[in-house]
Amino acid sequence: MTDVWVNGASMMPTGRHYNVNIDEMAARVLDEALRDAGNPQLDALFVASATSEQAEKQQLLGAYIASRLGLDKIATYRVENADGSGGAAIMAAAMAVRSGLYNCVAVVGADKPNDVLSNQQQDIYSTATDTVYERYFGVTPAAQAAIMAKLYLNKYEYKYEDLALWPVLMHKNGANNPYAYMRKQAKIEDVLESELVSDPLRLYDVGPMADGAAALVLCRNRGFAKIVGMWTSTSSRPFNMREDYDVLYSAREAAERAYAMAGITPRDVAVAEVHDSYSIFGVLAAEALGLAPRGQLLASLKAGADIKVNLSGGLKSRGNIMGATGVYQAVEVLWQLLGKAPFKRADGNIGVLHSMGGVDRTSTIVVFAI
């Protein structure tokens, strides 16, 4: 495929940013990413946000971000794929560059779930499920994740203690990431003793919702990294009609297509950031990306294997920045490939992100190379 180059990247620490509006957070990281890119002429802005409408009561977010920076006459678009908005926006932006219409575009992910109370956050989060066939009947993302966790653990003969290795690893990874929301180590006892959310999943299996913004500048001209493969796939299967509950169809399909486009195999992947809004999704996503055989990721963790997944701390520790998460993942993967602080340089030149919307409803895979 025609490469799309990354010329700039920026992110702000995740947290509870009560003192700054969503458009100002977005403008700040966009400004930084543009400076990182050498201040190119920007043709378009793609905004990824899952909370701007329901939490901020703001449509047309791109127009107001552009206003803050005086970016007149550029095109602006918001791309919403629920918590998978970030990956979808990167995909749409990269296609726009490939189309030849634009030389340089930016992707900004921005969300402030903490602008609303946690019951309202859950309300918003659940609007990523099928309103008619799931949400009205109380089938929450947590319940769906719990069902998938139970069936996975049972099928591959694991105990819950094995799944608990995921949040322990995430907290280990995130503890040293100054951009992370939950910067602390966690022992397996912390996980096992935490509140039960939806059997078997406990509080430590859930990525906490954090505020944040991250930005990328994508251009036709040479930058410090390039997008060599990308794909979005949506699973049409309703949850109750799935053939298997231990696989993320959308992630597997998108990964196969993106790898084929990039001409790589999973063995070429030096680092990956996956959407572990619940720890079981982290496990299933890593397997869908081919980073472990199906059913074997927890066995690898138990054997102490050094998996290069979610070195940021993932959604568990870095935080779930809703629709902005995919843009955070992009910056993390890029900085890992480059060895830019706070990340160590990856042992390879290929990094991958997995951005998921809903419970395996849509996934975008983006393959970066330096």
What single-letter DSSP state applies at residue 267?
A: G
Let me know: does 8 contact 36? Beta carbons within 8 Å: yes
Does residue 218 belong to the site contacting a second copy (CB under 8 A)? no
Does residue 21 belong to the site contacting a second copy (CB under 8 A)? yes
> For a second copy, which stretch binds (CB under 8 A), given 47-55, 212-220, 267-275, 304-312?
47-55
**Min. distance of Cβ 199 from a second copy in angstroms?**
26
In terms of C-beta density within 10 A (0-12 exposed, 13-18 middle, 19 or more buried), how is residue 18 classed? exposed
**Min. distance of Cβ 113 from a second copy in angstroms?**
13
> Which residue reads 């402030």 in tokens?
112
Closest CB to a second copy among residues 128, 165: 128
Closest CB to a second copy among residues 41, 349: 41
Does residue 96 belong to the site contacting a second copy (CB under 8 A)? yes
Burial 61-78 (b: 16+ CB within 10 A, else e): bbbbbbeebebeebebbb
Q: 92 — phi, psi (to 5°)?
A: -65, -40
Does residue 98 belong to the site contacting a second copy (CB under 8 A)? yes
Choose, by CB under 8 A, the member of 12, 27, 33, 71 that binds a second copy. Answer: 71
Helices 279-288 and 165-174: crossing angle in degrees, nearest 10, is 90
3-state secondary structure of 125: helix
> For a second copy, which stretch binds (CB under 8 A), given 27-35, 46-54, 184-192, 345-353?
46-54
Q: 277 — phi, psi (to 5°)?
A: -60, -30
Query: Which two structure tokens, joined as six digits, stand for 156?
Result: 């591959």
Choose, by CB under 8 A, the member of 16, 35, 38, 67 that binds a second copy. Answer: 67
Query: Which two structure tokens, joined as six digits, stand for 152?
Result: 């996975």
Q: Which residues of the shown chain bind a second copy in the complex (CB under 8 A)?
A: 1-2, 21, 23, 44-45, 50, 53-54, 56-60, 62-64, 66-67, 69-82, 84, 88, 91-92, 94-96, 98-101, 123, 127-128, 130-132, 135, 231-238, 253, 357-358, 361-362
